[in-house]
Amino acid sequence: MSANQEDTAPSARASDELELDRFVPYRLAVLADWVSRSLARTYQTRFGITIPEWRILANLAREEPLSAGALSERTNMEKPRVSRALQRMSDNGLIEREPSPEDQRVAVIGLSAHGRRLYAQIAPLALQWERDMLSGLSAAERMALDQLLARLSEQLDRMRGQDAG
């Protein structure tokens, strides 16, 4: 190896080295998991629902009825996980299923009266948890975080579009 190659080799290796504590995808994944599990303590013990059930409940409270496929997409959960959560929710009287008016082979899912009451109890607790989590940030930092998350989401949408094409 020439002297010139020796000078550039270590810096090239260093820049190609994956440092997990600085690797944004890893940091986001760990943070998202921690946030999800920490928030789950707010509703799991008190209301007996799981993380997948909460995600489905919150999505149905926002827009219903939805198919299992649409819930899988919106919650970013695999279909078998959504199916298991929907079965537990059905067994506990939180949801109702009906055939889709557009396609009788597909069931659409909506919240039952019990599911709506449960959501009405949990949502304020989740919002308070979020306020507590963000309380260490200034108003400007919270706004910047919101903008950065939106921009990252837009970029990932573009990247997914490129991968599909």
Q: What is the pLDDT of residues 3-44, one digit of tens each?
A: 555 554 454 455 678 998 899 999 999 999 999 999 999 899
Q: Are residues 96 and 123 in the same domain?
A: yes
Q: Is residue 9 part of a domain?
A: no
User: What φ, ψ does residue 49 adopt, rounded to 5°?
Assistant: -110, 155
pLDDT at 99: 85
Count of domains forming the chain: 2
Three-state DSSP class for 111? strand
What is the identity of the amino acid at 54?
W
Residue-range definition of the domain harbouring residue 160: 135-165
76 with 109, same domain? yes
Report the distance separating Cα 152 and Cα 160, nearest Å.
12
| Same domain as 144, residue 129 | no
The CA-based angle 146-21-129, given to 5 degrees, is: 40
Binned at pLDDT 50, 70 and 90, residue 57 comes out as: very high
Please report whether residue 129 resides in a domain: yes
CATH number at residue 39: 1.10.10.10
